Amino acid sequence: MTKNKIGREIPDYIEGIGKLVPYGGPFDFKPTKKKFARKISSIKPGESKLLESIKEAVIKTGLKDGMTISFHHHFRAGDYILNMVLDVIAEMGIKNLTLAPSSLSSVHEPVIEHIKNGVVTKIITSGVRGPLAEAISNGILDTPIIIRSHGGRARAIGAGDLKIDVAFLGAPSCDDYGNANGYTGKSFCGSLGYAKIDAEYADKVVLITDNLVPYPNVPASIEQNNVDYVVKVDAIGDPKGIASGATRYTKNPRELLIAQYAAEAIEASGYFVPGFSIQSGSGGASLAVARFLREKMIEKDIKASFALGGITGQFVEMQKEGLISKICDVQSFDLIAAKSIGENPDHYEISSSLYANPHNNGCISNKLDIVILSALEVDTDFNVNVITGSDGVIRGASGGHCDTAAGAKLSMIVCPLIRGRIPTVVKKVNTVITPGETVDVVVTDRGIAVNPLRKDLLEKFKKAKLPVCTIEELREKAEEITGKPKAIEYGDKIVGVVEYRDGTIIDVIKQVK
Amino acid sequence: MTKNKIGREIPDYIEGIGKLVPYGGPFDFKPTKKKFARKISSIKPGESKLLESIKEAVIKTGLKDGMTISFHHHFRAGDYILNMVLDVIAEMGIKNLTLAPSSLSSVHEPVIEHIKNGVVTKIITSGVRGPLAEAISNGILDTPIIIRSHGGRARAIGAGDLKIDVAFLGAPSCDDYGNANGYTGKSFCGSLGYAKIDAEYADKVVLITDNLVPYPNVPASIEQNNVDYVVKVDAIGDPKGIASGATRYTKNPRELLIAQYAAEAIEASGYFVPGFSIQSGSGGASLAVARFLREKMIEKDIKASFALGGITGQFVEMQKEGLISKICDVQSFDLIAAKSIGENPDHYEISSSLYANPHNNGCISNKLDIVILSALEVDTDFNVNVITGSDGVIRGASGGHCDTAAGAKLSMIVCPLIRGRIPTVVKKVNTVITPGETVDVVVTDRGIAVNPLRKDLLEKFKKAKLPVCTIEELREKAEEITGKPKAIEYGDKIVGVVEYRDGTIIDVIKQVK
């Protein structure tokens, strides 16, 4: 055991994972390796990549016991691919696989059976929700899962820390030679940003489509020279689960109050100037912040250079209005964004590596001015938890949280001070995803706390007469209402390892009792 | 010495190059290596890539004696970059460099001085023209130059056979973090297809621009995570030399006759069907073929799926007319093409690897139906020379000639039977760029010869009453007019090694006497 920089106990070694390097600061770890390189492959003119079935693809790729398979999560709750492929693999009797999708959601409950049957023995993901998450928190796997951020996953794949043997990638539009995009076809999901990196680095790449189109399907988000096989199936996802319609604005007064404070804090921060850049989530408060900012942008004639990240229709509309110059989209959050990416050249599709990989020659997160992030919990050291609930059970995803917090000049958490009877600002978060030293401001409905590292911001906020207080004061206010939260009872078994974006370990998740 | 499959004597080893593998057939050589991978690099938020001068860039990249530097040739005869950078390097006293641009042209005459001064000691290129080519043919370099096709260069870079230490890439439009495109700015050249591979694989990548634009400059042909430094200079090229205006159609009756035969042969070949694909050059006859084909396409209501390669305005117009669905553009040949690529999403920019690399998972050349190619000489084994003139001096480029000949279902050479007093069809070409077994048809103004390997085509052409004859008959006709050509007198010294696209050696070029 070693205590890492934020005081979390990190084992030196975990069976099935290997040696762990404890987190030492957001830019402390310097890469020294070469990039991972797969074997050179070749295919002659006339050879076909089109296969009859997923089973044929599994056979052709040479998938064997003990290998690692990957998927993307752009279909979100509408994904058919992962369950479909795992069923085929299970039927073929292949065991002991590492499942390494870009993320998992509640629709992947059937994975539980595949774990029980020995088909899946390890999981590496950004997050997981629902029954599968509960089963993991209850210790269903012998080896802990590894939680990686989106930038961290791109880093791990690029560095060969995550070696993907076969990637099974759903493609809403694909030709017979593997040129694919995500914005046309009945199962369109918009950006294929998380899939691009798998296509570039996996030993074998299988595209699965329900929309085979004439060659060449260009512009292509995934290009043919990164694809081994193409399989046509009836349906790759449920459109209803893939993309929601236009996002509705919150009417929740508490969310609106948080958003108002946040917008005012941004305005006062000194970063709200012509050419600023921004990332914001799809939650009610985040969307409301963007709405308030829009008004301020029009009022003051301030235009943004770019919006980054998971993209909502709101930013698409603002870009059309001329308020935002470019959109860099790693994941399209709704129907409007998913359509726009195929139609508007200034709405640009980016890979997760370009988005947030700390170990490439400069990701876009590096150039971010403002990021607005959510939190399940924040502690008085400004550490943020977005992965485990108040019961200690996994119920979220690392996503781009720690990536953008590290990259942005102003990283702002927006959250209610309490949720139900549960405080959001606490002494010590259950699980750290984002280290406090990369968090600048916490905006709640009961006040704004500024990280002591950012005295400059504190001065500016005071001058703007914003309701600033210390993070300790926020915690006290929360506890006044909720009472002291009962400590979660954990067992000894580690069920999850949380990797920071640079590959070091920031925390572990223990089995719930 | 070993005789390769087409009977050319290939040395087993050349000092300064290494062991040579003789050519053994177009798809004989199977790659077994891993792809080349450069070191992982990282850059923190706030760090700048913008440098003051080329000299500062040379210092920062750590360029040293003995290293390899690369450039792209998208600025053609208007290129300022290569001479500008070499002048700086020479002034700094760095010596013994390998110059590895995607191609060289007559504008690079100053390289001669840098060879004399010991700055440049090796050259690897697709081709070279003018005084520099003459100097090379006369033995100015101790080590032979290596001639690679465009696909072969992408292969060599991907395989680590050509390891680029520093790439200096001209960018007509670039932001301060390295997002670049070739289709905006005063020095616009269209596609940056040949530069993409350098940006992906070179150890250090320097973009040189005369048009610094706001961040983020997306869509980007070269993305920021592949770029180390950005330098702003006054001018990167002479627009007049970069792109010519609209191409004029030939009125030369011999070229028109060749084009007419070629178009009729294509029509009779069986490949002229809906969804066919085509590549064609920018020479007079090639352009005329496309013009004749256009008429046939309208007449018969046949639409092409894609046009590939170096792209002319002619294909752009046909795409706009709805006669061609997509354009895949590795190099924009004229002003119309260079503009279109930034405006029309169906005019798609491709890298040289996607274009023609035989050792990736399927280049677009693999899917080509028809390619129309030129020739300086064709011999009675159908071998083609596009690199050395009738005096044995280097005066051309390998380009995509052997790549597309190997990929296309119908590879067609169009050339006049004689040029001045010099026969085009000969017993044995001076230098082989494209092996005869990948050439299907030779169309001249005096008849059409079909490769005996393609009896199917011969039957079809006879049925269509095309003026078919044997290649031997073409040679005889030519010699009747010109008389037997005098053999070129070569010295013993090898001045050039011609690599086939797969990395094997197809021929060598000797010093002229």
pLDDT in tens, A457-495: 999 999 999 999 999 999 999 999 999 888 899 999 999
pLDDT band at A62 (very low <50, low <70, confident <90, very high): very high
pLDDT band at B203 (very low <50, low <70, confident <90, very high): very high
CA-based nearest residue in chain A for residue B200: A361
Q: Region A340-347: what's the mean pLDDT? A: 97
User: Smallest Cβ distance to B228: which of A354, A357, A361?
Assistant: A361
CA-based nearest residue in chain A for residue B344: A345
Yes or no: say if B505 and B23 are a contact pair by the CB < 8 Å rule: yes
Picking from B184, B240, B254, B179, the residue whose alpha carbon sits closest to that of residue B214 is B179
What is B51-241's CATH superfamily?
Answer: Glutaconate Coenzyme A-transferase (3.40.1080.10)
Q: How far is CA A501 from its chain centroid?
A: 11
Q: How far apart are CA A70 and CA A81, in angstroms?
A: 11
Residue A485: per-residue pLDDT: 85
User: Smallest Cβ distance to B306: which of A216, A220, A328?
Assistant: A216
pLDDT greater than 80 at residue A303: yes
**Whether residue A452 has a cis bond before it, omega within 30° of 0:** no
Residue A236: per-residue pLDDT: 98
Picking from A501, A513, A494, A506, the residue whose alpha carbon sits closest to that of residue A17 is A494
**pLDDT above 70 as % of chain B:** 99
| pLDDT tens track for B58-76 | 999 999 999 999 999 999 9
| pLDDT tens track for A146-155 | 999 999 999 9
| pLDDT tens track for A403-415 | 999 999 999 999 9
Q: How far apart are CA B31 and CA B52, in angstroms?
A: 42
Tokens matching residue B13 = 């080893």
Q: Quickly count: other Cβ atoms within 10 Å of residue B132's Cβ.
A: 23
Mutation target to probe the A interface, by most A beta carbons within 10 A, among B28, B40, B217 is: B40
Instruction: Please judge whether B361 and A226 are an interchain contact, meaning their C-beta atoms are less than 8 angstroms apart.
Output: yes
Which residue's structure tokens are 């008429």? B295
Which residue's structure tokens are 């949720």? A419
Instruction: Please judge whether B42 and A32 are an interchain contact, meaning their C-beta atoms are less than 8 angstroms apart.
Output: no
Q: Exposure pattern of B157-177 as b/e (b: 16+ CB <10 Å)?
A: bbbbbbbbbbbbbbbbbbbbb
Q: What's the mean per-residue pLDDT of chain B?
A: 96
Residue B150: per-residue pLDDT: 98
Q: Quickly count: other Cβ atoms within 10 Å of residue A40's Cβ.
A: 20
Identify all chain B residues contacting A319, using CB atoms and an 8 Å cutoff.
Answer: none
Partners of B499 in the beta sheet? B505
Q: Give Cα separations from B284 to A299, B195, B369, B373 (angstroms).
A: 59, 27, 21, 11
Residue A64: per-residue pLDDT: 98
pLDDT greater than 80 at residue B111: yes
Yes or no: say if A370 and A276 are a contact pair by the CB < 8 Å rule: yes
Residue B315: per-residue pLDDT: 96
DSSP string, B386-418: -SB-TTS-B-EE-TTHHHHHHH-SEEEEE--SE
Partners of B307 in the beta sheet? B278, B327
Q: How far apart are CA B258 and CA B444, in angstroms?
A: 6
| pLDDT tens track for A351-373 | 999 999 999 999 999 999 999 99
Lowest mean pLDDT among A413-422, A434-443, B398-407, B484-493: B484-493
Residue B247: per-residue pLDDT: 64
Q: Region B17-29: what's the mean pLDDT? A: 97
Instruction: Please judge whether A42 and B31 are an interchain contact, meaning their C-beta atoms are less than 8 angstroms apart.
Output: yes
Q: How far apart are CA A22 and CA A20, in angstroms?
A: 6
Q: Region B146-168: what's the mean pLDDT? A: 98
Residue A282: per-residue pLDDT: 79
Residue A245: per-residue pLDDT: 66
**Whether residue A216 has a cis bond before it, omega within 30° of 0:** yes
Residue A246: per-residue pLDDT: 60
Yes or no: say if A190 and A329 are a contact pair by the CB < 8 Å rule: yes
**φ/ψ (deg, to 5) at B206:** -115, 120
Residue B455: per-residue pLDDT: 98
**A245, burial (CB in 10 Å: exposed 0-12, middle 13-18, buried 19+):** exposed
What residue spans define the domains of chain A?
Answer: 51-241, 253-488
Instruction: Please judge whether B37 and A41 are an interchain contact, meaning their C-beta atoms are less than 8 angstroms apart.
Output: no
Widest Cα–Cα separation across chain B: 73
Q: Exposure pattern of A406-440 as b/e (b: 16+ CB <10 Å)?
A: bbbbbbbbbbbbbeeebbbbbeebbbbbbbbbbbb
| pLDDT tens track for A414-449 | 999 999 999 999 999 999 999 999 999 999 999 999
Give the alpha-carbon dihedral of A170, A174, A175, A177, to 10 degrees. Answer: -40
How many CB pairs lie under 8 A apart between chains A and B? 176
Q: How far apart are CA A455 and CA A453, in angstroms?
A: 6
pLDDT band at B281 (very low <50, low <70, confident <90, very high): confident
Partners of B426 in the beta sheet? B379
pLDDT greater than 90 at residue B304: yes
pLDDT greater than 90 at residue B23: yes
Q: What's the mean per-residue pLDDT of chain A?
A: 96
Residue B283: per-residue pLDDT: 82
Q: How far is CA A354 from its chain centroid?
A: 14
- Locate all alpha helices (DSSP H) within B126-192, ordered by sequence: 130-137, 150-159
Q: Region B262-281: what's the mean pLDDT? A: 97
pLDDT band at B246 (very low <50, low <70, confident <90, very high): low
Yes or no: say if B510 and B138 are a contact pair by the CB < 8 Å rule: no
Residue B145: per-residue pLDDT: 98
Chain length of chain A: 513
Mutation target to probe the A interface, by most A beta carbons within 10 A, among B218, B305, B370 is: B218
Residue B194: per-residue pLDDT: 98
- Locate all alpha helices (DSSP H) within B11-167, ordered by sequence: 54-61, 81-92, 111-116, 130-137, 150-159
Residue B463: per-residue pLDDT: 98
Q: Region B272-277: what's the mean pLDDT? A: 98
pLDDT band at A281 (very low <50, low <70, confident <90, very high): confident
Q: How far apart are CA A458 and CA A461, in angstroms?
A: 5
Residue A307: per-residue pLDDT: 98
pLDDT greater than 70 at residue B308: yes
Instruction: Please judge whether B306 and A362 are an interchain contact, meaning their C-beta atoms are less than 8 angstroms apart.
Output: no
Yes or no: say if A119 and A94 are a contact pair by the CB < 8 Å rule: yes
pLDDT greater than 90 at residue B248: no
Which residue's structure tokens are 């005066």? B395
Chain length of chain B: 513
| pLDDT tens track for A158-214 | 999 999 999 999 999 999 999 999 999 999 999 999 999 999 999 999 999 999 999
User: Smallest Cβ distance to B359: which of A40, A178, A359?
Assistant: A40
Q: How far is CA A330 from its chain centroid?
A: 10
Task: Note whether A51-241 and A253-488 share their fold.
Answer: yes
Picking from B169, B344, B320, the residue whose alpha carbon sits closest to that of residue B329 is B344
Identify all chain A residues contacting B437, using CB atoms and an 8 Å cutoff.
Answer: none
Q: Residue type for A370, please?
A: I
Instruction: Please judge whether A361 and B409 are an interchain contact, meaning their C-beta atoms are less than 8 angstroms apart.
Output: no
CA-based nearest residue in chain B for residue A223: B354
What's the CATH number for A253-488?
Answer: 3.40.1080.10
Mutation target to probe the B interface, by most B beta carbons within 10 A, among A60, A353, A359, A361 is: A361
Q: Residue type for A390, please?
A: S
pLDDT band at B245 (very low <50, low <70, confident <90, very high): low
